[in-house]
Structure 1
Amino acid sequence: MTGETPRDTLSAASRIGFLGDTHGDMHHILTVARTMAARGIEYLVVLGDFGFVWPGHNWSIDIDKLSRRLKTTGQTLAFVDGNHEAFDLLYKFPVTDDGLRWLRPNIVHIPRGSRTALASGATLAALGGANSVDIGHRVPGRSVWAEESITEADLTVLGHEEADVLIGHDAPLHLPTLDAWLAATDHGWPPDGLKYSAEGRAMFHRGFLQVRPRLYLGGHYHRHIDESVTYTTGETEFQTRVVILDEGGSASGTSQGILDVQTLELEFITRDGVQVGSA
């Protein structure tokens, strides 16, 4: 970081722009940033698989470039971790007094278990992480890291207090649209990978039940899903609107959403700003 003072505008933003997996795609993320800036969005959040902190190239140059471009649009970009992050590199950045991990003055990682109060007074909690279904094709320490998995310690930090909004990377269990797609499609994933991925999703689901959000926003599955589901934990029944954003990289994909923090309603747009749905 430079000597500039970081701007934590998440708690002050009246609208927040959310992005699905970006996987280190500079063109996509800069296009989205311009689109969001034109709509007055100053705070962006990537829902895991940010992918810019990655070995094999000078990723620091890419982060510098992204930071400079965001500075011209007056935006801050935050991200929760997914399963496509180089955790050994990411964790070299310390968690500062505000509980966040600042990579640059306007680029910040939101650790698992973080909570913040939005401008409306609603509470937002974060639980990144997911298990890679293709782990058998990855190399430990080069393309997959053990830290991708949600742990018991993460769930302890998250706590059991309710949150109005939960952001993360994986998805809760018993999501009919996602479950039907996973069951009906032959993805060619090996049994060990499917088992490992399911274990990670089950861990996320435990955290999801701990906070019982009204709205959940995630990525990971490279599809757009939006449905309300009723869950039960103990004697408590609650309903959550579960929104999964598609991965970036496509001009037509529903991989962006704008959240109104007062109403918790969403507007979905393409990366070029074409409205594709609202509620």
Structure 2
Amino acid sequence: MTEAARRGPLSTATRIGFLGDVHGDLQHVLVVARTMAALGIEQLVVLGDFGFLWPGHNWGIDVDKLSRRLASMSQTIAFVDGNHESFDLLYTFPLSDDGLRWIRPNIVHIPRGYRTVLASGATLAALGGANSIDIGHRVLGRSIWAEESITEADLVALGHDHADILLGHDAPLHVPTLDANLTATDRYWPVAGLKYAAAGRAMFHRGFLQVQPKLYLGGHYHQHIDEDVAYATGHEEFRTRVVLLDQGGTRSAISQAILDVHTLELEYLARDGESLRAESTGHSGHELSD
């Protein structure tokens, strides 16, 4: 890990604010940013489907407005990529020496394989991307991009060193509540879409097993999940608290959280700042999964 990566925007924060999918919803992000600012949070992270860079409209206006509002509150917003990003636009911004892709001075993309060390000494890695289950309804190069899929090169970039925290968009396999919820809705999707989405999740799971995080934070499924899951890799076992944040856009959705980087504990809150008790999130333990 380079010294430049260690000096990234997340490396000095003692508390970091996280958001689930925002899909370019400027009003929602501004509300959450104000809420976080009132709580002293200067570093925000969107867990995929940032969605502000999108063809067909003057996306720069919203990005500039977001940047100005963040600047007025001394905040920076980072995002891992999801499956609803225009990668053609995103990749016009080059990687900087710090390993990040700066869209504006306070808006930054965290690429797959990025690593940094937090103020607590905890290590953090990122693996964005996911496969769109609705691929059959999208047009390549206009509403879906091949780069949404995690590749072998992404897994090489991520490496096999342990990370205390992994940020991403998709979810690892064998998360009981998520799996049960998905089974209940699978009948609404074409078989081809289900297979494509499953292949993407399997690729993410490989990366997840490579780093064996204590805490995983993701989005993608538009629901809130908080489960402690045990995994086995050969003769090794590890446990991960798997947390997915809901899609943003409503007052009551559990789509925001604040991470204490020293304890790795999370505080959930509604976008207007109302604290949501951890007991309501379904945080529970489950047995070993391969």
1:201 aligns with 2:216: no
Unaligned runs of 5+ in 1: 1-6
2:72 corresponds to = 72
Residues 213 and 233 of structure 1: CA distance in aligned 2, closer, same or farther (over 3 Å) = same
Give the TM-score of the pair, scaled to structure 2: 0.93
1:215 corresponds to = 215
| 3-state SS, counterpart of residue 206 of structure 1 | helix
1:153 aligns with 2:153: yes
Q: Tell me the distance in 2 between the aligned counterparts of 1:186 and 1:11.
A: 40
Structure 1 residue 187: Cα displacement: 5.4
Structure 1 residue 141: Cα displacement: 0.3
Give the TM-score of the pair, scaled to structure 1: 0.96
The total of aligned residue pairs comes to: 273
2:36 corresponds to = 36
Residues 104 and 240 of structure 1: CA distance in aligned 2, closer, same or farther (over 3 Å) = same
2:224 corresponds to = 224
Aligned letter for 1:210? Q
Q: Tell me the distance in 2 between the aligned counterparts of 1:205 and 1:114.
A: 17
1:125-169 Cα distance to aligned partner (Å, 9 max, x none) = 000000000000000000000000000000000000000000000
| 3-state SS, counterpart of residue 160 of structure 2 | coil
1:60 corresponds to = 60
Aligned letter for 1:124? L
Q: Tell me the distance in 2 between the aligned counterparts of 1:16 and 1:269.
A: 13
2:177 corresponds to = 177
Structure 1 residue 90: Cα displacement: 0.2
1:234 corresponds to = 234
Q: Tell me the distance in 1 between the aligned counterparts of 2:278 and 2:121.
A: 23
Structure 1 residue 277: Cα displacement: 2.2
1:4 corresponds to = none
Q: Tell me the distance in 2 between the aligned counterparts of 1:146 and 1:116.
A: 27
Q: Tell me the distance in 2 between the aligned counterparts of 1:171 and 1:67.
A: 29
Q: Tell me the distance in 1 between the aligned counterparts of 2:24 and 2:190.
A: 26
Indicate conservation of the 8 Å contact 2:226/2:242, yes or no: yes
Q: Tell me the distance in 2 between the aligned counterparts of 1:265 and 1:75.
A: 22
1:10-68 Cα distance to aligned partner (Å, 9 max, x none) = 10000000000000000000000000000000000000000000001000111111000
1:26 corresponds to = 26
Structure 1 residue 104: Cα displacement: 0.3
| 3-state SS, counterpart of residue 50 of structure 1 | coil
Q: Tell me the distance in 2 between the aligned counterparts of 1:45 and 1:14.
A: 14
Residues 216 and 92 of structure 1: CA distance in aligned 2, closer, same or farther (over 3 Å) = same
Provide the alpha-carbon RMSD of the alignment.
Answer: 1.0
| 3-state SS, counterpart of residue 243 of structure 2 | strand
| 3-state SS, counterpart of residue 185 of structure 1 | helix
Unaligned runs of 5+ in 2: 1-6, 280-290
Indicate conservation of the 8 Å contact 2:245/2:255, yes or no: yes
1:3 corresponds to = none
Structure 1 residue 8: Cα displacement: 3.9
2:90 corresponds to = 90
Indicate conservation of the 8 Å contact 2:8/2:116, yes or no: no
Aligned sequence identity (%): 74
Aligned letter for 1:56? G
2:109 corresponds to = 109
| 3-state SS, counterpart of residue 156 of structure 1 | helix
Residues 187 and 219 of structure 1: CA distance in aligned 2, closer, same or farther (over 3 Å) = farther
Runs of 4+ in structure 1 off by over 3 angstroms are: none
| 3-state SS, counterpart of residue 24 of structure 1 | coil
Aligned letter for 2:226? D
1:272 aligns with 2:272: yes
